[in-house]
Chains A and B, each alone.
Chain A
Amino acid sequence: MLDLNICHLYPDLLNTYGDRGNMLALQRRAQWHGINVAIQNITIGDSFDASAFDIVFLGGGQDYEQEIIQKDVLEQKGSEIKNAINNMKVFLCICGGFQLMGKYYKTWDGKEIEFLDALDLWTVGGKERMIGNIVFESDIISDEGKPLKIAGFENHSGRTYLGSDIRPLGKVLYGNGNNGTDGYEGAVYNNVYCSYSHGSLLPKNPLLTDHLLTLALKQKYDTFSALNILDDTFENAARASVIQRILK
């Protein structure tokens, strides 16, 4: 039987707007695929050994909570996270977790907060929050030969910009995405997947969930080829209902 170890990093702090749903989606789908899953919560003060995990998840936080994390992530876990990224570890980072991977966060009144600098991206705070449903299209994941349309809900005031060394997760079809101007959403570097989308993101985009599980299994098992197909009637209905409603 195949095993996957999933780490929820800072679950008590980076876990807003239902980010817990992403952990549930990874866990349940892995189980439905017949994979043994173990989940571990790691937070401030805990030691973090990335080699013990196959997938690492970071959610979004309120500004107040992100401030509390900053020191721990920079001083305690930063180098381990960077190593893991270079070793092709699978990460999913949503909203605040996405920003944290970048170089810095500059508040709208000019204060610069140093972040992890694990990925070539940076964030500038805006006065207006970008809130609403979002649909974007990712050619990294194929949906019957076509780029996958992903549906979610964004809620952020930070505008994130990608450097030359990193590509977006997708193109925005409806909503704001990373910064509301360049038309891109999220980021992908090695096996790190970042997005602004809550919703929660994974449950109603099962192909994305399976894509992450597949990446992790391929890293772990040389002989692994592909996952089976599951009955995704509810998931597809939920995704289609949002897409049909807003892309009319």
Chain B
Amino acid sequence: MGFTITEKILARVASREAVRAGDEVLSRPDFVIAYDFPGYTDVIFKQMKDDFGIERVADPKRFALFIDHMVPVATPKEEELHIQTRQWGAAQGVPVYERKGIGHQVSAELGYATPGAFAVHFDGHISQLGALGTLAIGLRRNLLEAFVNETVSLKVPATVRVNLHGRLGTGVMARDVFHHIVRVMGPASCAFKVLELGGPVIDAMSIEGRQTICGQAMFVGATTAIVNPDQKAIDYARDRARIKLDPVCSDPDAHYDKVIDIDVSQIEPVVVIPPSPARTRNLTDFIGLPIHAGYLGSCASGRMEDLRAAALVLKGREVAAGVSLHIVPTSQAIMSQAAAEGLIQVFSDAGAFVSSPSCDYCFGRIGTMTAGQRAVSTGTLNVPGRMGSPDSEIYLCNAAVVAASAVAGSIADPRPLLTGVSG
């Protein structure tokens, strides 16, 4: 019987000939990634020294720190946290990246997502590195283990294989595909397992689309998500990769916990209604619901395809009176590309607020809503209070829906305004 890509990657980093789902291993991450955030990095730095007497991490080049939350800073205390991060990185020889964008995206751009690599973070959205065949797992506070040991304790997860077939319709984007997966499989369908994506739709999908789907894996309960690296992934990673690894793929006779086939041809654009990411609904059932804010950005969206789709909708149109539309490209590289393509001008002319990359819109630190307000958002999450008041509401949807709704002042279907946007 063959092995899954997950088993192959974990066998290598556990220095074993082979591992199987269910085995408990100590595995050495190729990359240890974090953004600075109170209660996480500051605590890890302190505990490392005070509780474990460790002055320096082993092999600092494996580590990467990002400053992407609390950007730009709004209080002296926030700046103090960033200063501490910069100083810690400098003292350790650990790179600290800032003004480059949202770390989960920039990790891919900077070659921390080499096919076949194993990466850990505290934040589960790091799973999006799976788009490039990297096994990337969010450990929450257990990330401390990777700072005080070379290895982390892990139970090799079983894998749920999902094959996507068919053809995406106009105005149906990767976001819709992911939320459809939640809808048909359920929010606990991959609990403690890896979601391995494949099939002709994934083969045809861009790296960006795969990042979007893989990054949200936690909402089907998955430990992470991964796509077997194809030529597209290898081409993306080739000149960026920080370590040389042979890409690995699941064997044709690998053992899967479940294999699920989903036809995407019938998928319509969706909204995910409050109060939880488990609640995928048809967009068409919510047309006309008034909104006060639109947010296009986050590690889950805000990439070129999202921005291009929004620009198609917004070109020659204006954001409705009383609506704030925040458009936040996910990285500086994406922002520059958007500028080169003239998209920023389209957004500006439409009356959108265009911001440099930051995580802060996604969790309501800025662009904050008050009670009774409602947003359409490509952010990661729609739980109450995520973007401001606990009595405000978030409807998650794709970038084109955000743009069309911002123009209409209420939830709107972008399809009449689009031609040929998919994937």
A is bound by B: no
